[in-house]
A and B are shown apart, each in its own frame.
Chain A
Amino acid sequence: MDLKHAGPGPAPEPVVALAGNPNTGKSTIFNGLTGLKQHTGNWPGKTVTQTKGRYRHRNRTINLVDLPGTYSLLAGSPEEQVARDFICFGAPSVTIVVVDAGCLERHLNLVLQVMEITPKTILCVNLIDEAEKRNIRIDYKKLQSLLGIPVVPTAAREKKGLDNLKNTVDDLVAGKIKPFPRLPVYEEPLEQALQALGKSLQRFYGGHLNPRWLALRLLDGDPALRAQLKEALRENPKAGIPGTEQEELIAAFLQEAAAYRRKLGPGLRDRVVRSLYWRAEEIVAAVVRKPPGKVADWNDRIDNIVTSRLYSYPIILLLLGFIFWLTIAGANYPSELLARLLFGLEGKLAAAGQSLGVPAWLDGLLVKGVYRSLAWVVSVMLPPMAIFFPLFTFLEDLGFLPRVAFNLDKFFKKAGAHGKQSLTMCMGFGCNAVGVTACRIIDSARERLIAILTNNFVPCNGRFPTLFIMASFFSVVLLGRKNSLLASSLVLLVILAGVGATLLCSLLLSKTILRGIPSTFTLELPGYRWPKVGTLLIRSILDRTLFVLGRAVTIAAPAGGLVWLLANIQSGDGSLLTQMAGWLQGFGNLLGMDGYIILAFILGLPANEIVLPILVMGYLSGSYLLEPESVEAFHALFLANGWTWLTALNVMLFSLLHFPCGTTLLTIRKETLSWKWTFLSVLLPTAAGITLCFLITQVARFFRLV
């Protein structure tokens, strides 16, 4: 990540950085300021890369950069490096640090660190509505005078204080406010060293970095940062100093710094951090008034149940099961309605084409190929997603997911993985590419790689429609009618199988290729927050449902055309599609499926969403007797092609366990910077899927269950 050049550069528009601990509502502030729809969840580490946006205020365009949430700028995790590098080297005009009014003490640590880098810092005390509910009172005027930087209280979810924040940014950019940050004072020997080094620096350093901060980080910083700082010294000579002289001064300065480092002795970092927290304690003692005594709030009461031995795991299972049941049961009717509407239009489109004299092949390509797969993707995917995403977003915003990580961590530890992997898996339910990117919240290389390679074992949204339709078909074959309870239980079972496969593969990876010591584990359990239903609906529908649907549609349209061509170009005995399916027939049969199914999975590489449409088109390529306008019509189509419950089960399992989609593969390559790991991410699930389907099929056939 080259952030040195992401700064303002020659652009006249000021750049404002947004920093803060994870889960402080930083992204809500970002959305509130820019109006950009960036999804925010109530669990730490959501913003894994920096998001950019802009807004106009008082005739000035401000570029806003949302930095990854970090507890500090000192520990050296990838997110912290991104945030620190941007604040130091990107030289933003203003840095806003967002903190949680409810735990000011912990968050002031970061504020003090940012203030040491740049005086143009604004402290944004967010979530004041929640703090007020807990009777926490903060004296903002006093806080401002103790810190020496502007302080703006906000309740971003209620859109309170955002105008004030914009005004303050503008005042700072325009120079109407001159901040005089009161920096933390360290132990006497360190302060002496900082003063001496600062003086030496001024002789030759002409860059924008604060000399005191530069000296401090040369004394206590990690080696990577020290190397960066040395480079910064060389690249920013003071005007009028010849190169050779500058070199000498730098060498002398570094020697001086090394001497101080030896003199100050080991454990300097501890003392520095301790001083920061002492200062934070002092400030909080002066400005925050909390109700006396311990308040057993409803947050604790909920957690007592959610993390109890008796209820914790049933709650996770029931909640996820309920979401899947509601999705299956609720999507049925709107799906049918949409399908009837869209496929009704198909006839009219075809008729219109004929009356305009469009040649039959073009009509077929556009209507039966492109349009039909579009209609299919929309009618099948839209209703379940419009139910699933708001429900899942609700759990996310509520703060339930970190509890899942807390309850499940022991199992992940046993598998050599990190409990946060359960969070990246949850992201995978939405989209595996998003899940893979989210693995950055895991700061040990080994556990992160495990999480990346196994993320695909969680069925993403693109695979849910397939799972739902297969599960309902399964119930029809087994019971003679559709049974939502059986179907949703089956979906839940397949998801659990995916979780099992994740743990098993994690264990396998950690014991073989990725052997090593587990990393540090820390997991924050933020307070529950009741989501705002209005914004939740808008965000989950716009940002997730329509985003994923849009991507599916853009891929489904050309893919539908291609498959129609394959189905209609005759060569020899039949269409290309039939021939290709014929080659795969034997292999498919071994796995309890058929050639068309395997072909659909292969042609569905661009996106899992189009596997079923391709399959339907393949089955229909011989005849156009059947128009898939309802779930029942699918069932009839599958039955006509010789499906049994075993076929449906195998399709579900293979959908769960096969190569990641194209987007996810490219993301894995980007995140690991290695084709080797990318290849492994294909091999691992595909081998597992083939083995499992083969075994189940052979056993079922041996006992004559089909």
Chain B
Amino acid sequence: MELTALPIGKSAIIAGLKAKGLMRRRLLDLGLVPATTIEAVRRSPAGDPVAYRVRGTVIALRAEESRLITVRP
């Protein structure tokens, strides 16, 4: 499923990235490589972006980006 579908407070494992180019490189550098555990921590009061915990840091992603990340439970 897409990362956007991950409910707040739940964790999943990154299965793959559909992002291309600069966005892909940026996500990889932040440690969002396949098989990484990712947890949806909180949603912005405006609904978007959503903050995710990856490798001990909290990173906010817009729906445009998180849609390009596939996860499995």
Contact = CB atoms under 8 A, between A and B. Distances in A.
Interface of A: 71-72, 74-77, 102-106, 109, 269-270, 273-274, 277, 300, 303-304, 307-309, 312-313, 406-411, 413, 419, 443, 518-526
A303 B41 CA distance: 10
A524 B64 CA distance: 17
A523 B57 contact: no
B48 A520 contact: no
A388 B16 CA distance: 47
B46 A410 contact: yes
Nearest to A294: B39
A520 B55 contact: no
B12 interface: no
B29 to A, nearest CB: 4
Contacts, number: 120
A413 B46 CA distance: 11
Contacts of A300: 41
Contacts of A443: 22, 26
A35 to B, nearest CB: 30
A77 B30 CA distance: 14
B69 to A, nearest CB: 12
Given A273-B33, A409-B44, A409-B48, A525 B59 contact: yes
B28 A270 contact: yes
B56 A103 contact: yes
Contacts of A103: 55-57
Interface residues of B, number: 36
Contacts of A312: 45
B28 to A, nearest CB: 4
Interface string B12-39: 0000010100111111111101101000
Given A72-B29, A273-B29, A409-B44, A106 B54 contact: yes
A303 B36 CA distance: 24
A522 B65 contact: yes
A520 B33 CA distance: 17
A313 B44 CA distance: 11
B45 A521 contact: no
A303 B25 contact: no
A410 B28 contact: no
Contacts of B56: 102-106
Contact of B44 (A74, A277, A410): A410
A407 B44 contact: yes
B17 to A, nearest CB: 8
Contacts of B54: 106
20 contacts: A71-B29, A74-B29, A76-B25, A105-B55, A106-B31, A269-B25, A270-B17, A270-B33, A277-B33, A419-B60, A443-B22, A443-B26, A518-B64, A520-B19, A521-B62, A524-B57, A524-B60, A525-B51, A525-B58, A526-B58
B42 interface: yes
A409 B63 CA distance: 12
Nearest to B68: A520
Contacts of B22: 75-76, 443, 519-520
Which secondary structure dominates where chain B touches chain A? Answer: mixed
B61 interface: yes
A136 B24 CA distance: 31
A71 B50 CA distance: 20
Contacts of B61: 521-522
B58 A411 contact: no
Residue among B41, B47, B58 with the highest chain A CB neighbour number at 10 A: B58
B47 A71 contact: no
B4 to A, nearest CB: 14
Contacts of A525: 51, 58-60
Contacts of A77: 26
A71 B30 contact: yes
B44 A106 contact: no
Interface of B: 17, 19, 22-31, 33-34, 36, 41-49, 51, 54-62, 64-65
B25 A523 contact: no
A308 B45 contact: yes
B45 A522 contact: no
Nearest to B29: A72
A75 B32 CA distance: 14
B26 to A, nearest CB: 5
A246 B33 CA distance: 40
Contacts of A308: 45
B25 A307 contact: no
A419 B49 contact: yes
Contacts of B49: 406, 409-410, 419, 521, 523
Given A103-B55, A103-B56, A109-B31, A413 B62 contact: yes
Contacts of A75: 22, 25-26, 29
Residue among B22, B23, B29, B41 with the highest chain A CB neighbour number at 10 A: B29
Contacts of A72: 25, 29
A74 B22 CA distance: 10
A73 B55 CA distance: 19
B36 A106 contact: no
B42 A307 contact: yes
B45 A407 contact: yes
A274 B28 CA distance: 8
Contacts of B57: 103, 106, 524, 526
A313 B45 contact: yes
B63 to A, nearest CB: 9
A102 B55 CA distance: 10
B30 A106 contact: yes
Nearest to B35: A274
Nearest to A312: B45
A519 B23 CA distance: 8
B33 A523 contact: no
Contact of B59 (A304, A313, A522): A522
A521 B65 contact: yes
B3 to A, nearest CB: 13
A260 to B, nearest CB: 21
A496 B13 CA distance: 41
Residue among A273, A274, A409 with the highest chain B CB neighbour number at 10 A: A273
Contacts of B47: 410
Contacts of A309: 45
A74 B25 contact: yes
Nearest to A521: B62
A72 B59 CA distance: 15
Nearest to B16: A270
Contact of A273 (B28, B46, B51): B28
B58 A520 contact: no
Contacts of A270: 17, 24, 28, 33-34
Contacts of A76: 22, 25
Q: Ordered nearest first, which 10 A-B pairs have the shortest CB separation?
A: A410-B46, A103-B56, A72-B29, A520-B23, A312-B45, A523-B60, A75-B25, A273-B28, A106-B55, A525-B58
A307 B31 contact: no
A223 to B, nearest CB: 12
A524 B42 CA distance: 13
Contacts of A274: 28, 33-34
Contacts of A409: 44, 46, 48-49, 60, 62
